[in-house]
Amino acid sequence: RPTDRRLGAAEFMARRAEKAGIPTTVTFQVTDRCNYDCVHCYETHGTAPELTLEEIDRILGEIAAMNVLFVTLTGGEFFTRRDADDILRSARRHGFAVKLLTTGHFIDERRADLIRDLGAIQVDMSFYSAHAEVHEAVTQIPGSWGRTIHAARLLIERGVIVLLKSPVMSVNAATLGDIAKL
């Protein structure tokens, strides 16, 4: 149709998938555990049972068989799982375009290399302020601001797209403009 030619590729694919009854993206929460205790968080942090790596791999295979294109891996904090790197490898082995949601706390040089090498299309990080004291008032973890900034820089240096996500709260509303400057 003429109107379809004016759509961007992602929107065009999403409309075609919708007509066919196929999801284009799946968000897969693999844990509710988190090493932070953010003031706004609704997670129960470790009370829910977790799927095994084998179960996750099977589910990813089932999702891939439905022709889903994108998978977003999240938690709590995705990287609190000891097998997080293997879950990433499984998602790529199944052919997904992978996006991650994380605090960045557990991203070091080695893991940044892995994320790049596996071709993650984007890493979204929870980031509450350009000011460490405000960010850490939300996470309630000293040093969390520096770890998130460090992880973002490691990924950006490797060409990975990073999106800093900041929900507006009374504790950070006055400092949100500073994030763009940072």
Average pLDDT over the chain, rounded to whole?
A: 91
Handedness of CA 65, 66, 72, 77 (dihedral sign): negative
Q: For residues 94 and 69, what is the distance between their CA atoms, to the nearest angstrom?
A: 10
- Reading the block at residue 71, the tokens are 């998978």
DSSP annotation of 48: S
- Tens digit of each residue's pLDDT (9 = 90 or more) over 150-170: 999 999 999 999 999 999 999
Compute the average pLDDT of residues 92-101.
96
- Tens digit of each residue's pLDDT (9 = 90 or more) over 3-45: 555 667 767 777 877 888 878 899 999 999 999 999 998 877 7
CA-to-CA dists, residue 20 to 13, 45, 68, 82, 100, angstroms: 11, 37, 12, 37, 27
- Reading the block at residue 92, the tokens are 């790529």
- Tell me if 84 sits within 8 A of 118, measured CB to CB: no
Q: For residues 126 and 38, what is the distance between their CA atoms, to the nearest angstrom?
A: 10
Q: For residues 124 and 102, what is the distance between their CA atoms, to the nearest angstrom?
A: 6
Q: For residues 34 and 176, what is the distance between their CA atoms, to the nearest angstrom?
A: 24
